[in-house]
Chains A and B, each alone.
Chain A
């Protein structure tokens, strides 16, 4: 009897997984179609003709390319800073008693529950009062506040999963605390840290609502450039950029898999 239920559940799980993967893939396919759509507007599917006009439009426009430069720089700096802060904070949270941890994790997650337009507006007004009018500095502040919650929580998730007896064993065997962290905690928490870093990078690269409030006359990010270049007609360059970004990500992952092996980088948990 139990076996039959198990088989049923496992079958159901498989069907559900197949269904979700389809649901996830369909918009990917549609985005690719949009990116190669020859029509100058967002029309019904499928497109009657294909072209690469949106890609050439992207590469021939200085406005977009400058935005891309700012976006990449901003994303890289935000990720580095927020991963560092995330790891330090996660270690602190791991060591705190559970009451403090409950409160602090909730507080550190709070920027994610505020609609970004509100966060952007609040930061804009506050920094202006402080006299900070530099666009890049403002953008960095805004991006840090929406990326750190991800790095803290994802790292904490990796750290909490580690069997405490491993670290304690190392300490009992005479290892210094710092070594115990680098030799045991860090490698095992690596998947979590990496996840946090990826989330941070993506969130920074894709943000429109906070950035719109914080750009200045000369510093703007790519998504802001893309959104503001359209007045009435939806500009499919946006789809082309998404396809480019995903293509680059896939290529990078492929190279990493061929050179060092992806499983090596994402890390193995204790049991996998």
Chain B
């Protein structure tokens, strides 16, 4: 997929996402047999709470909830070990984990015939497999952007250059080589005049940042960042939405999603439907139900990720993730995810050999 089409897709999404068009038809046109049991892998905390509320609003499918254990990567070796007989009907994930599953050819392709509500999802955002078929069902978007705790940060941050300010010594929590697809590194590259295909300016700035002593902690798990900010250890971060939301629940957080020169990245969360499972029909019907306008709205409110269904309503708390098309072009950078994802291994190894010794 080209950079341009993806950008247009995302901009369409967020532009329409702010408009309330809720009230569409509920349920699936192809109801499954009464109370089929499916097994689904979801994130813990707010996400599974949201999904349980959605489950309670229908009675065709009963879901056995399994939680991701420490990031969405831990489930991959398990599926690989049991393949071709997976235990799960769908696995929630994002670009980072979909990529591997698509390459391993584990996923059932989806269409508007099998999941009719996909018609209301901007099509260009949908992850495709090698044959160009849709491989996963997106349900919401979150962001990766710069943010800081207003009450503890020694300075107001307005640009990438501010991250190098000496008053921030030890005050930054930076995502480590397995977090946030290393997109904050791409942000540094953009700031230095490069991009995901030309990362040298990014590495140069990353080295400078590491040497400045401003990085107090490198976050390596999902809870690392929020704990570091809530405990007062650090005050500034370039991180992803769920972690920032967790901090924002208790503290004033300034999110620089609309700050020129501080790029914001968007990622999707969604459903990957596995092959070789007995209740495919029921799973597809449930997934379709989940991305209906009303359920998308409910999910956004409880889970704190902006809805993708153009007929759903974006909650006020997620205003920072609603962009007009003009704002989108100005603030959001949509990298070529194929490049970003295929470089993860190389970037993380380079981080270990060049950045980690400087910290």
Contact = CB atoms under 8 A, between A and B. Distances in A.
A229 B243 CA distance: 14
Given A233-B223, A234-B226, A133 B74 contact: no
Interface string B22-53: 00000000000000000100011111000000
For the complex of A and B, list the 3 residue pairs with the smallest distance between their C-beta atoms, beginning with the closest: A231-B45, A232-B246, A228-B67
Interface string A97-123: 000000000000000000000000100
Contacts of A216: 87
A40 B249 contact: yes
Given A133-B85, A213-B77, 10 more contacts: A41-B246, A41-B247, A41-B249, A124-B77, A212-B69, A217-B87, A229-B45, A231-B44, A231-B223, A234-B230
Interface of A: 39-44, 121, 124-125, 128, 133, 212-213, 215-218, 224-225, 227-234
B30 to A, nearest CB: 26
A125 B243 contact: no
A180 to B, nearest CB: 48
Nearest to B46: A231
A43 B231 contact: yes
Contacts of A233: 45, 223, 226-227, 230, 246, 249
Contacts of A40: 249-250
B64 interface: yes
B70 interface: yes
B68 to A, nearest CB: 6
Given A42-B227, A124-B81, A217-B87, A228 B242 contact: no
B81 A128 contact: yes
Nearest to A214: B78
Given A217-B87, A231-B45, A232-B223, A42 B70 contact: no
B232 A44 contact: yes
Interface of B: 39, 43-47, 64, 66-70, 74, 77-78, 80-82, 85, 87-88, 222-223, 225-227, 230-232, 242-243, 245-247, 249-250
A83 to B, nearest CB: 29
A73 to B, nearest CB: 20
Given A124-B77, A228-B68, A229-B45, A41 B245 contact: no
Contacts, number: 89
Contacts of B39: 217
A225 B70 CA distance: 11
B88 A217 contact: yes
B227 to A, nearest CB: 5
A227 B70 contact: yes
Contacts of B250: 39-41
B31 to A, nearest CB: 25
A43 B230 contact: yes
A229 B46 CA distance: 9
Main secondary structure of the interface of A (DSSP, over half): loop
A232 B243 contact: yes
Contact of B231 (A42, A124, A224): A42
B70 A212 contact: yes
A228 B70 contact: yes
Given A215-B69, A228-B70, A230-B223, A42 B82 contact: no
A182 B70 CA distance: 47
Given A39-B250, A125-B81, A217-B39, A232 B66 contact: no
A42 B69 contact: no
Given A40-B250, A44-B231, A212-B69, A231 B47 contact: yes
Contact of A230 (B44, B78, B80): B44
Nearest to B223: A234
A233 B225 CA distance: 9
B317 to A, nearest CB: 15
Contacts of A42: 227, 230-231
A230 B69 contact: no
20 contacts: A39-B250, A43-B231, A43-B232, A44-B231, A128-B82, A133-B82, A133-B85, A212-B74, A217-B64, A218-B64, A227-B69, A228-B44, A228-B68, A228-B70, A229-B67, A230-B44, A231-B44, A231-B223, A233-B45, A233-B226
Contacts of B230: 41-43, 233-234
A232 B88 contact: no
Contacts of B74: 212-213
Contacts of B243: 232
B300 to A, nearest CB: 16
B77 A232 contact: no
Nearest to B74: A212
Nearest to A39: B250
A230 B88 CA distance: 21
Nearest to A232: B246
Nearest to A225: B67
